[in-house]
């Protein structure tokens, strides 16, 4: 390629670059004059390199003319103003965002404080309502107890009056007194209780309410586990004796023997192992065998365990043997002591 062609090609390239970015070309030229080339705006040609400034002059462009510098200054100022405007707008947005966040924090704090206050008020209201309701229920319960106690006391007094009138009427007739009291000792007991109750009411200013008496009765019954009578072998002896003796009547001699065996058996600690009905069954079998010897076959009911009854029967036999050995005289002096 000739020098003329290289020059023409360089001029065309400079004009194109200058049209696309004139101020970039000027900046590159300025840096080259200062000995720097950060943007590397040097143009290489096949036959050598022409400096950008020479190309500008060769193309008829004066990079340092006043008009060019003014236009460059105007564009730079416009760019700076736009950048300042953008920065200002950005700061405004950031400030507005912070204000909104601060406002939201304030709203959340206000809502939290109001919610806490409302919850406290609600708690106080509910607590006061519960206390008031409990108080009303307690008053209603006391009124109900008072009403029921009054009615029960009135009924009890009326019943006592009617019963006392009946007893007094029965006892007033001397002709029927012996007939009434014959076999009915409970009438005298009832009269004594009635008189005691009336005496207490005459002496005491505050009489014990029927409700308190009822509570006391329930306390006694619960302490006794609702057992109004003590269950002993004597409770079952009649049943087991009749069952094992073909429903024959109980002779007086055998009654004495039954009582004797039960009393002897209960003196030992071994007796505590057995239940009262087991002791009664064993004693009845022992007494019946004493008269019928080996011909007797004991009868058992479903809920009685034979093994335990026979174990208790063996205990009775051991007791009888120990008593027999105890009363055998060991020497002539013993014989004299027994005879005396």
Task: Report the C-alpha gap between 245 and 298 in whole angstroms.
Answer: 9
* Per-residue pLDDT, 267: 78
Q: Where are the domains of the chain?
A: 3-64, 233-330
CATH of 233-330, one of 1.10.12, 1.10.472, 1.10.3470, 1.10.443: 1.10.472
* Secondary structure class of 154 (helix, strand, coil): helix
Task: Report the C-alpha gap between 157 and 154 in whole angstroms.
Answer: 5
Instruction: Tell me the two tokens of residue 114.
Output: 């109001």
Q: What is the DSSP letter of 330?
A: -
Element (H, E) at 307: helix 306-326
| Cβ neighbours, 10 Å, residue 27 | 16
Task: Report the C-alpha gap between 67 and 65 in whole angstroms.
Answer: 5
Instruction: Tell me the two tokens of residue 4.
Output: 């003329």
Do the beta carbons of residue 239 and residue 284 sit within 8 Å? Answer: no
Task: Report the C-alpha gap between 26 and 3 in whole angstroms.
Answer: 25
| Cβ neighbours, 10 Å, residue 201 | 13
| Cβ neighbours, 10 Å, residue 134 | 10
Sequential pLDDT tens for the chain (340 residues):
566 566 566 556 656 665 555 555 555 544 444 444 444 444 443 333 345 555 555 555 565 667 777 777 888 888 888 888 888 889 989 988 988 998 888 988 898 889 989 999 988 888 888 888 888 878 877 877 777 667 666 665 666 666 556 555 555 554 445 555 555 566 666 666 666 666 666 656 565 666 766 777 777 777 777 776 777 888 888 888 777 777 677 677 778 888 888 888 877 777 788 888 888 888 888 888 877 655 555 666 666 788 888 888 888 888 878 765 554 455 544 444 444 4
Q: What is the DSSP string of 38-57?
A: TT---EEETTEEE-HHHHHH
Task: Report the C-alpha gap between 9 and 47 in whole angstroms.
Answer: 11
Residue 64 pairs in a beta bridge with none
Task: Report the C-alpha gap between 268 and 57 in whole angstroms.
Answer: 146
The residues near 194 (Cβ < 8 Å, ≥ 6 apart) are 160, 163, 164, 167
Phi and psi at 228, nearest 5°, equal -85, -10
Instruction: Tell me the two tokens of residue 55.
Output: 């190309």
Q: What is the DSSP letter of 208?
A: P
């Amino acid at each position: 390629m000739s020098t003329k062609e290289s020059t023409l090609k360089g001029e065309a390239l400079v004009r194109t670059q200058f049209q696309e970015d004139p101020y970039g070309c000027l900046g590159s030229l300025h840096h080259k004059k200062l000995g720097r080339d950060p943007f590397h705006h040097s143009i290489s040609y096949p036959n050598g390199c022409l400096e950008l400034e020479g190309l500008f002059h060769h193309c008829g462009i004066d990079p340092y003319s006043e008009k060019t510098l003014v236009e460059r200054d105007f564009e730079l100022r416009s760019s700076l103003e736009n950048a300042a405007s953008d920065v200002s707008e950005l700061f405004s947005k950031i400030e507005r965002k912070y204000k909104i966040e601060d406002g939201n924090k304030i709203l959340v704090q206000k809502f939290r404080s109001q919610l806490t206050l409302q919850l406290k008020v609600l708690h106080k209201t509910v607590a006061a309502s519960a206390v008031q309701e409990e108080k009303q229920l307690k008053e209603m319960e006391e009124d109900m107890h008072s009403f029921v106690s009054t009615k029960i006391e009135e009924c009890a007094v009326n019943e006592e009056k009617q019963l006392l009138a009946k007893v007094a009427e029965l006892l007033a007739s001397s002709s029927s007194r012996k007939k009434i009291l014959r076999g009915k000792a409970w009438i005298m007991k009832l009269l004594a209780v009635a008189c005691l109750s009336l005496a207490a009411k005459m002496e005491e200013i505050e009489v014990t309410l029927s409700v308190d008496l009822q509570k006391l009765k329930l306390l006694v019954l619960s302490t006794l586990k609702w057992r109004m009578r003590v269950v002993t072998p004597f409770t079952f002896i009649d049943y087991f004796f009749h069952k094992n003796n073909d429903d024959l009547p109980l002779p007086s001699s055998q009654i004495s023997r039954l009582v004797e065996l039960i009393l002897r058996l209960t003196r030992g600690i071994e007796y505590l192992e057995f239940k009262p009905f087991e002791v009664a069954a064993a004693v009845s079998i022992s007494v019946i065998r004493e008269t019928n010897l080996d011909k007797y076959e004991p009868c058992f009911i479903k809920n009685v365990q034979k093994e335990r009854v026979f174990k208790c029967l063996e205990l009775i036999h051991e007791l009888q043997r120990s008593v027999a050995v105890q009363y055998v005289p060991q020497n002539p002096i013993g014989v004299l002591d027994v005879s005396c």
